[in-house]
Amino acid sequence: MSHNGSKPTEKPKFAMYWASSCGGCEIAVLNIGPKILDVDAAFDVVFWPVAMDAKYKDVEAMDDGSILLTLFNGGIRNDENERLANLLRRKSQILVAFGSCAIEGCIPGLANFSSQDQIFDAVYASVSTDNAGGIRPKTHTTVPEGILHIPEFYPVLKTLDQVVDVDYYMPGCPPESHQIATVIDLVLAVLEGKAELPPKGAVIGAGDSTCCDECPRQRNVKKITKFVRIHEMDAIDPDLCLLEQGILCNGMATRSGCGALCPQHNAPCIGCYGPAEGVVDYGARIMSALASVIDSRDPDEIERILDGIPDPAGSFYRFNLAHSLLRTGKVG
């Protein structure tokens, strides 16, 4: 990667942006500890709303391609998100979809199961909302001082690569700090000419197997006879695969990289590292895997076993609905 337009003495430029996200990814980056000082030493941080003051117009004024590395987290929920995605794409040499929201929609993407009206009803007109005037957001509002603009809320949440070209994907909700540190080390090594960048489109900061690969639990040939939720269990065997104990663990379908954090703490993997390499639809994958090992041939019993799955849509598409083949909860 050549840094066209930057003078040799200048440090390469770094940006980070949050679109529709919770802010966890930003915390994860700050959480890399002393390594953050290496970032500061090696890069000139030009744009990072959570950490420093900056204006969109400052970014607009930069030369195209003048930012070496942009970590973009959050999905594309409104036209402001989309505008920033396009802007940062133009200004950056390397654009990384950072974290589950940018890659696959994550929790905000679950709103794709509902229509825009349903979402607004839930937010502005449910019992928990004190909104006597029944006010709904509008893109233009005239006030004495002039016209106010707020971003237009899209019918569905899109992922970053559904609106712009993405160079790399860094999964996790949020990406684990040790993985962020590894990626930063890699970038630094590339800058020093000691390493090569992975091929475009690669997933970085993660493994190439699934969570089970990093999970220390004992596992046997799978035969599922029931699904239970953790609070329904008297005790969880600390050494046996959770799925074999009836707990819906998504580890088998979720990309490795986190170190099997959740299963190691008696909690099932819920899939935040996204699908494994080459998997087109995470939810479909996990459903066909589970369906293959339900241990019964009796349709009624199979029905009973499946009824034990808590919130199937949420369990199988929790992180990836927006990027799945379904994309939304509705066809047409």
Partner 1 sequence: MNPSQDEKERIGVYVCHCGSNIAGVVDVEDVAVWAGDKLADEGVVVSRDYKFMCSSLGQEMIEQDIAEQGLTRVVVAACSPHLHEKTFRGACARAGLNPYLSELVSIREQVSWVHTDKQKATAKAKAMIAGGVERVIEQEALEPLKVPIHPATLVVGGGIAGIQAALEIAESGSLVYLVEREPSIGGHMAQFDKTFPTLDCAACILTPKMVDAGSHPNIELYTWSEVERVDGSVGNFTVTIKKKPRYVNEELCTGCGICVEKCTRNVIDGEFEAGLGYRKAIYTPFPQAVPKYPVLDTENCTYFEKGKCKACQLLCPTGAIDFEQTEQYITVTVGNIILATGFDLFDARRVPQYGYGRLKNVFTSLEFERLSNAAGPTNGEIVLRDGVTKPESVGIIHCVGSRDRNYNNYCSVICCMQSLKFAHLVKERTGATVYNFYIDMRTAYKDYDEFYQHVMEEGTIFVRGRVAEVTDAARRSGEEDKLIIQVEDTLAGRQRRIPVDMVVLSAGLEPRRDAKQVAHTFGISCSANGWFIEKHPKLDPIATMTEGVYIAGCVQGPKDIPSSVAQGAAAAARVISRINKGEIELEPIRATVDAHKCSGCRICNDLCPFNAIVWHEDEMVTEINHALCQGCGTCVAACPAGAISGTGFSNEQVMSQIEGLLMFEQPVDLLAMAV
- Positions touching partner 1 (CB under 8 A) are 208-213, 219-223, 251-253, 256, 275-280, 285-286, 288-289, 292-293
Q: Which residue's beta carbon is nearest to the bound ligand SF4?
A: 251
CB of 177 to partner 1, least distance (A): 23
Alpha helices in the chain (DSSP H): 24-30, 35-42, 56-61, 79-91, 100-104, 106-109, 116-124, 177-191, 261-264, 282-293, 299-307, 312-317
Handedness of CA 160, 331, 116, 155 (dihedral sign): positive
Please name which of 134, 191, 156 lies closest in space to residue 11, comparing C-alpha atoms: 191
35-42 vs 177-191: helix axis angle to the nearest 10? Answer: 30
258 binds, among ligand SF4, partner 1, none (CB under 5 to 8 A by kind): ligand SF4
CB atoms within 10 A of CB 223: 10
- What is the contact surface with ligand SF4 in residues (CB under 6 A)? 211-212, 215, 217, 219, 241-243, 249, 251-252, 254, 258, 260-263, 269-273
273 binds, among ligand SF4, partner 1, none (CB under 5 to 8 A by kind): ligand SF4
* End-to-end CA, the chain: 42
CB of 263 to ligand SF4, least distance (A): 4
305 binds, among ligand SF4, partner 1, none (CB under 5 to 8 A by kind): none
CB of 19 to ligand SF4, least distance (A): 21
- In the bound state with ligand SF4, the residue whose beta carbon lies nearer, of 68 and 258, is 258
272 binds, among partner 1, ligand SF4, none (CB under 5 to 8 A by kind): ligand SF4
CB of 155 to partner 1, least distance (A): 22
83 binds, among partner 1, ligand SF4, none (CB under 5 to 8 A by kind): none
58 binds, among partner 1, ligand SF4, none (CB under 5 to 8 A by kind): none
- In the bound state with ligand SF4, the residue whose beta carbon lies nearer, of 12 and 99, is 99
Please, what's the b/e burial string for 95-114 (b: 16 or more CB within 10 A of its CB; e: otherwise)? Answer: bbbbbbbbbbbbbbbbbbbb
d(CA 96, CA 29): 14
- In the bound state with ligand SF4, the residue whose beta carbon lies nearer, of 147 and 221, is 221
156 phi/psi in degrees, rounded to 5: -135, 160
- In the bound state with ligand SF4, the residue whose beta carbon lies nearer, of 6 and 254, is 254
CB of 149 to partner 1, least distance (A): 38
CB of 23 to partner 1, least distance (A): 30
CB of 273 to ligand SF4, least distance (A): 4
- In the bound state with partner 1, the residue whose beta carbon lies nearer, of 119 and 261, is 261
CA atoms within 13 A on the CB side of 274: 32
Q: In 3-state terms, what secondary structure has residue 2? A: coil
Counting beta carbons within 10 angstroms of the beta carbon of residue 265, is it exposed (0 to 12), middle (13 to 18) or buried (19 or more)? Answer: exposed
CB of 280 to ligand SF4, least distance (A): 16
269 binds, among ligand SF4, partner 1, none (CB under 5 to 8 A by kind): ligand SF4
CB atoms within 10 A of CB 66: 20
Cβ-proximal residues to 5 (8 Å cutoff; 6+ apart), any chain = 63, 65, 66
